[in-house]
Structure formats: C-alpha cells, structure tokens
Amino acid sequence: MVAAPLDDAIARFLAHLRDQRRYSPATVRNYARTLERLRATVAAAGVTRWREVRAEQIQAFVAAAHRAGLAPGTLRDMLSAVRSFYRHLARAGEAAANPALGVRAPKAPRKLPQVLDVDEVAALLEFPADDADAIRDRALFELLYSSGLRVAELTALCWRDLDLDEGLVRVTGKGRKTRIVPVGSQARAALAALAAQDRPGVDDPLVRGRLGRPLSPAAVRRRLKRRAKDQGVWKRVYPHLLRHSCASHVLESSGDLRAVQELLGHADIGTTQIYTHLDFQHLARVYDAAHPRAKRRKA
C-alpha cells in the first residue's frame, strides 16, 4: 500500500505520454521500465511521495544502473525520462522541485556514424529496375537516400504525402512533428515508375508488399541487405546508413549545417553536428593524400 501513490503518478504520466503526447508504444515502454526501476529504488528507501525524492537518491539510482553495466547513452535516456516525469509532476502540483536536474550520466565516447561514399551509393542504387520487386526496391531506397528519411518515416508514408511534380514529401517524424523535405530527381523518377506499376490511390501506403499490405521497417531492412549483397556492396548496409550518407554528402557539398538539421528533422542542432566531424575526417583524408608535406611526413 505504501507504493500506491508512487504507482498512481507513474500510471498518469504514461497515459499522458500515450494519449496526449502520442509517443510510440516502444518509447512509452522504455519510460515505464525506467520509472518502475526508480520506484522500486525509492520505495525501498521508505519514500512514499515523489516530492520526497532527493537529488542524491537519483544520483545513487544512476550509479547503481551504471554498475549493473548499462551504457552511458542508456543512462542519459533514463535521466531524461526522470526529468520529464518530474516536469509532469510539477505541472500537476505533485512536486516542487526536479531532483534529476543536477544529475549527470557518465560521458560516452562519441561514436561517429558509418556512411557510404558516393561511389558506394551508386553501386547500391543503380541496379536494373526490370521487374516489379526491383522497381519497388529502387523507389524505396532512392527515397531513403534522397530525403534522409528514417525507415519508420518511410513506412508511414502514403502517396498523398508525395508531390512528385514539385519534388517534395511531407514526413511525420519523432514526436509526430511534420516536415516537408525535397525529393531528388533520381528518386522522383523511381517513384514515378513505381506509381505507373502499382497505380495506387492517394490514401494507399507508399511501401507495399506483393499482397498490397504495408511493408514493415524490418522488411525494408531485409530487402536493402539482400540488394546490397547482390550489388557487391560488402559493408553492413541498413536504412539508417542511407540517412547518414545523405546528411554527410549534403553537408560536404554545401557546408550548411542548419539546412541538414531541417532535412533530417533534428530538434537540436547538436545532434546534427556529428556530421561535421565526418566532414573533417574526409578533409583530413584528402589532405593526407594530396598535400606535399603530408605525404612527405608519412614517408
């Protein structure tokens, strides 16, 4: 019975995420898992109301998860969930302060995303569209690369979201935020071929299998992996690799970080800045290969 107020507050918050914020089921499950772990921790310490939790208890909670082997990125996500929970409690008058605000997760080394170079993208995408499956695959993969889409964004598209005449697609991303992004000429041509083949209605899903049902993200991943193998691209190829490659190539050519942020739908430009590190790596490779002093130093 002691834990009932703690449980009730969590249940109301999860309902808010699900019904008001429209978070995905997977995200709601992650929040629930974190808050249940926190509830068990503070209840064991005798806490009966969320307003009684102190910053040092949140810090101890994170430290225990770290000792259990959870990665720094996971710990940051857990802290973000706790902070969001306390903001919700504050709005409801159930907490006066947010004890997670001053708590920091351990820093993780920044892992740069892998990308395909332009020649590898060409090798992957320029396969003959000479049957129904190939026409469909070509359209899907060209759009992923052209517009930097997440695979879940791709599989959620309907034909009404596309304007092939203007070369635009309306995408619903994380947090149900909508953005309009360009579609390149190669992707437009591939999508026009797919439309001529399938003759879809405006409300039909863009990504369909042989029986007309929408493809799942997992099915798109399998198709892309199989096509990469057939094309002789021996890197590990997956849909997000095309998104990374799109962002890297646009930034490399334009230098416009803000435009890349808008293309990808990142809420925080800090997320987009990782591609500047990739751009600098490319510059370093070109320099090492071309600069006389660099070559002499290597010799």
**Cβ–Cβ under 8 Å, residues 32 and 15:** no
Q: Which two tokens stand for residue 87?
A: 């903001």
275 is annotated as an active-site residue: yes
Is residue 150 among the annotated active site residues? yes
Q: Is 126 helix (H, G, I), strand (E, B) or coil?
A: coil
Question: Which is the catalytic residue, given 136, 243, 244, 249?
Answer: 243
* Active-site position among 16, 39, 266, 282: 266
Q: CB 206: neighbour CB atoms within 10 A?
A: 25
Does residue 222 contact residue 155 with C-beta atoms inside 8 Å? Answer: no
Active site residue: 136, 150, 188, 244, which one?
150
21 catalytic? Reply is no
Q: Which residues have C-beta within 8 Å of that of residue 126, sequence separation ≥ 6?
A: none
> Among the options 18, 37, 39, 174, which is catalytic?
174
Cα–Cα distance measured from residue 38 to residue 42, given in angstroms and rounded to the nearest whole number: 6
Region of residue 148 (left: phi > 0; alpha: psi -120 to 50; beta: else): left
- Does residue 225 have an active-site annotation? no
Q: Which of 51, 208, 225, 240 is catalytic?
A: 240
DSSP class of residue 52? G
Give catalytic status of residue 240 as yes or no: yes
| Candidates 23, 31, 145, 275; catalytic one | 275
Reduced to 3 states (helix: H, G, I; strand: E, B; else coil), residue 259 is helix
Whole-number Å distance between alpha carbons of 103 and 85: 15
Q: CA 201 to CA 279: how far, in whole Å?
A: 41
Residues carrying an active site annotation: 150, 174, 240, 243, 266, 275
